[in-house]
Amino acid sequence: MTLDLAGDPVALTAALVDFPSVSGTEAPLADEVFRALEGLKQYEVTRDGDTVVARTNLGRPHRVVLAGHLDTVPIVDNVPSRRDGDLLYGCGTSDMKSGDAVLLHLAATIERPAHDLTLVLYDNEEVEAAKNGLLRVSRNHPDWLAADFAVLLEPTGGTVEGGCQGTLRAKVTTHGKRAHSARSWHGVNAIHAAAAILDTLTAYEAREVDIDGCVYREGLNAVAVSGGVAGNVIPDRCDVTVNFRFAPDRSEAQAEAHVREVFAGYDVEVTDSAPGALPGLSAPAAANFVSKLDAPVQAKLGWTDVARFASLGIPAVNFGPGDPNLAHQAGEYVDTRKITEAVEALRRYLVAD
C-alpha cells in the first residue's frame, strides 16, 4: 500500500489504520512511512530501528518537532477501518494514527514553513518505557531531536494539553504459608491477605493539583492481581499490581516514596516508571503556539512523551485530533472533522506569514 501524504488527511488516517502496527510489529508501517517521506524533496530522512525521523534544513531561526507514535494497542477485531458518516472507526484512529496523518499531510503540503521542521514517527510507545523508540533515539542520536519546541500529536480533541502526569507501576506483595486446602487452618492464605491492599486502594483519596491553571488529578489503582499455586493448595504469595498516575509536581522518587508510604508494611517492587512534565505554557515558544491556534488549554491526564522532550529541555505540548477518552477501546473512532480542523490549526502556526 502506498501512502498518499498530500491527499485527503482523512483517507491517509484510514490507510495508516489499515496497516496493523501493534507495539513490536511496526516495521512494515515504518517502511512505508520512510519511503513516503523520502519522496519529499526538502526533508533529510533517517531511521533508527522502527523510528523514522525527517528534518528540513532551511536555515530558519527556530526548529519545531512534530511527533507521533506508530504503534497501537492490540487489535480487537477493529482493523481494517470503517467509516460511518463523520466517524472513522478502527484501532488507532484516535490514538494516534489520525495525529500521524495530520503531521505527515502537513509535511507534504507546506512548502514554506515558518520554522525548520523535524518529524518523528516512533515505535513502542504503548508498552513499557524501556522499549520506547523516542527514548532510544534520544540516547542514540540526541542531535536528531534538537529543537526549540515540540508538538506531540496525541489525542486531545483539538485542545492544547499542557504537560502530562507521571506513571509508576509496582507490585505490592502479601506472603502466607502453604497448606492443603482440606486442612486450611495449617496455612496462611496470601490471597485473603491482599484484601487489605484492595481496601486501602478503595479508600484512597486522590490529590488534585492546579499548576499554571492546569488541574491534574492523581489516581492509585489496582490493575492486576496474581496468586495461587493449585486448586487444592492454600497460596503463600499474592501480588497486586498498582498503577500510580501522579501530578508533574512530584518527581519519580517522590512518587515511589508515596506508594511505599501508602503500602507501608508490605513488600513493594517498582516495575516501571516514567516522569511527568510540567505544563511549561509560560515558555515563549509554547505561548506563541497557543496564541496562533487560539485553542483552549487544559492539563494532560495521562502520560505522553512530552515528558521525554521536557527531560531534553525542549518545551512541548500535546495537540491532536483524536479523543483521549476513546483510546484503547474496541469501538475506538475519530471524528473526521477534527482531523480537518487540526490540519488547518497547525497550518496557521507552521506556514510563514
Please enumerate in sequence order all residues whose Cβ is within 8 A of that of 69, keeping only pairs 6 or more positions apart, or say none.
96, 100, 121, 122, 123, 124, 125, 126, 133, 134, 305
Q: Is 71 an annotated catalytic residue?
A: yes
Please tell me which residue in 26, 50, 71, 161 is annotated as part of the active site. Answer: 71
Stretch 51-60: mean pLDDT:
97
Sheet with 160-162: list strands edge to edge.
44-48, 51-55, 116-122, 63-69, 149-152, 316-318, 160-162, 297-299
For 12, phi then psi, to 5°, come to: -65, -40
At residue 20, the pLDDT reads 96
Q: Cα separation of 146 and 177, whole Å?
A: 55
- pLDDT digit string (tens) for 99-131? 999 999 999 999 999 999 999 999 999 998 889
Q: How does strand 116-122 pair with strand 51-55? A: antiparallel
- DSSP code per residue over 134-163: HHHHHHH-HHHH--SEEEE----TT-EEES
Q: Cα separation of 328 and 229, whole Å?
A: 32
Q: How does strand 166-175 pair with strand 267-274? A: antiparallel
CB 29 within 8 A of CB 36: no
C-alpha dist (Å) from residue 169 to 123, 201, 270, 324, 350:
21, 14, 6, 21, 38
For 211, phi then psi, to 5°, come to: -125, 115
At residue 353, the pLDDT reads 65
- pLDDT digit string (tens) for 151-206? 999 999 999 999 999 999 999 999 999 999 999 999 999 999 999 999 999 999 99
pLDDT at 37 over 90: yes
β-bridge mates for residue 202, sequence order: none
Helix (H, G, I), strand (E, B) or coil at 352: coil
Please tell me which residue in 125, 256, 305, 335 is annotated as part of the active site. Answer: 125
> Cα torsion for 138, 144, 149, 153, to the nearest 10°?
-80
What is the pLDDT confidence band of residue 12, given thresholds at 50, 70 and 90?
very high
- pLDDT digit string (tens) for 284-302? 999 999 999 988 999 999 8
pLDDT at 141 over 90: yes
CB 247 within 8 A of CB 211: yes
Q: How does strand 149-152 pair with strand 316-318? A: parallel
Share of the chain above pLDDT 90, in %: 93
Q: Is 332 an annotated catalytic residue?
A: no
At residue 294, the pLDDT reads 85
Share of the chain above pLDDT 70, in %: 99
- Determine the distance from the C-alpha atom of residue 351 to the mean position of all C-alpha atoms in its chain, rounded to a whole number: 27
Strands (E) across the chain are located at: 44-48, 51-55, 63-69, 82-84, 87-89, 116-122, 149-152, 160-162, 166-175, 179-180, 208-211, 214-217, 219-227, 233-234, 237-246, 267-274, 297-299, 316-318, 333-335
At residue 129, the pLDDT reads 83
At residue 295, the pLDDT reads 87
Which grid coordinates belong to 72?
497501537
CB 308 within 8 A of CB 321: no
